[in-house]
């Protein structure tokens, strides 16, 4: 049989599955980079990626490549299964989330951008403020936050379908969050709350620069974990629901900042009395 490439297999793979467009593009990008299907090529690709991204990312990409291999073998495109693919041991750092005080600081300092606009005419201070509020309160993934529309809002209720899982989600938003969304919608040419203001990459750069100026670090992805952490503090066991997870235990492993959840974090007895 002729050599098969991941790119050719991936096109058929995504066309035969009901998956969101973001995941389709993700699979096709990985397949395009991986080249031809062989254990040697997969291992070379994985070693190269280990020098560029985290072990967790490489492990996820390995899973996608092996799914493509299985699909090709089941379809009769490979004479035999691919064996000898290296294993990746993921090293997960302890999760850190923003505190409520840090989030309030980031929102307040968005006012420093008053008078500045994106290339599409969106007020930068309003964009950052709205993004921080709706991302934190909804617990939605970045792709969902960027695609929120005015028709997802019903008063203070936000309803949408998750791109990743296809599950319907409902969230109640605070009044300041709703007001910020409405201000963005007044300027929106297409009904989107945030996505019209600038491209996703440019928006991420603006947010990263803003967070660095605030001195709190992190990325916009921390909005999701921060909201989940604070939900868990207020209502133990509810973080999974806030995140829209199907997998039990995922929130506890990867999204909750146990340094903030003191009531539920196991702690040894104090052996010495504190000195004044």
| Residue 266 predicted with pLDDT over 60 | yes
Does residue 271 or residue 260 have the better pLDDT?
260
% of residues, the chain, pLDDT over 90: 79
Its pTM stands at 0.80
Beta carbons of 251 and 239 less than 8 angstroms apart: yes
In a domain, 107, yes or no: yes
Beta carbons of 224 and 255 less than 8 angstroms apart: yes
| Residue 276 predicted with pLDDT over 80 | no
In a domain, 95, yes or no: no
70 vs 77: CA distance, rounded Å:
10
Q: What is the DSSP letter of 272?
A: S
Average of per-residue pLDDT values in the chain: 92
Question: H helices within 83-199, ranges in order?
Answer: 100-109, 124-138, 142-147, 175-187
In a domain, 271, yes or no: no
Task: Indicate if 136 and 213 belong to the same structural domain.
Answer: yes
| Residue 275 predicted with pLDDT over 80 | no
In a domain, 168, yes or no: yes
Domain of residue 176, CATH code? 1.10.443.10
Task: Indicate if 31 and 118 belong to the same structural domain.
Answer: no
Task: Indicate if 70 and 112 belong to the same structural domain.
Answer: no
CA distances from 128 to 30, 118, 200 (A): 31, 11, 13
Structural domain including 154 reads: 100-254
129 vs 134: CA distance, rounded Å:
9
Mind listing the pLDDT tens digit for each residue in 105-133? 999 999 999 999 999 999 999 999 999 99
Answer with the one of 58, 74, 90 that is the final residue of a domain: 74
Task: Indicate if 119 and 60 belong to the same structural domain.
Answer: no
């Amino acid at each position: 049989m002729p050599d098969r490439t991941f790119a050719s297999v991936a096109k058929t793979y995504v066309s035969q599955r009901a998956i969101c467009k973001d995941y389709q593009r993700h699979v096709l990008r990985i397949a395009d980079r991986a080249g031809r299907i062989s254990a040697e090529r997969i291992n070379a690709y994985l070693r190269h990626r280990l020098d560029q991204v985290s072990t967790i990312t490489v492990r996820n990409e390995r899973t996608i490549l092996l799914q493509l291999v299985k699909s090709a073998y089941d379809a009769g495109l490979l004479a035999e299964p691919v064996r000898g693919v290296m294993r990746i041991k993921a090293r997960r750092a302890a999760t850190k989330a923003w505190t409520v005080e840090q989030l309030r600081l980031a929102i307040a300092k968005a006012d420093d951008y008053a008078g500045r606009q994106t290339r599409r005419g969106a007020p930068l201070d309003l964009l950052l403020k709205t993004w921080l509020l709706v991302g934190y309160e909804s617990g939605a993934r970045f792709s969902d936050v960027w695609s929120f529309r005015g028709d997802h809002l019903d008063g203070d209720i936000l309803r949408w379908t998750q791109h990743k899982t296809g599950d319907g989600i409902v969230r109640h938003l605070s009044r300041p969050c709703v007001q910020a969304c409405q201000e963005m919608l007044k300027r929106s040419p297409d009904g989107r709350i945030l996505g019209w203001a600038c491209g996703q990459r440019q928006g991420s750069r603006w947010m990263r620069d803003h967070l660095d100026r605030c001195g709190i670090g992190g990325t916009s992805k921390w909005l999701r974990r921060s909201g989940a952490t604070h939900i868990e503090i207020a209502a133990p066991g509810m973080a999974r629901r806030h995140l829209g997870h199907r997998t039990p235990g995922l929130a506890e492993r990867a999204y909750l900042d146990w340094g903030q959840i003191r009531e539920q974090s196991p702690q040894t007895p104090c052996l010495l009395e504190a000195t004044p």
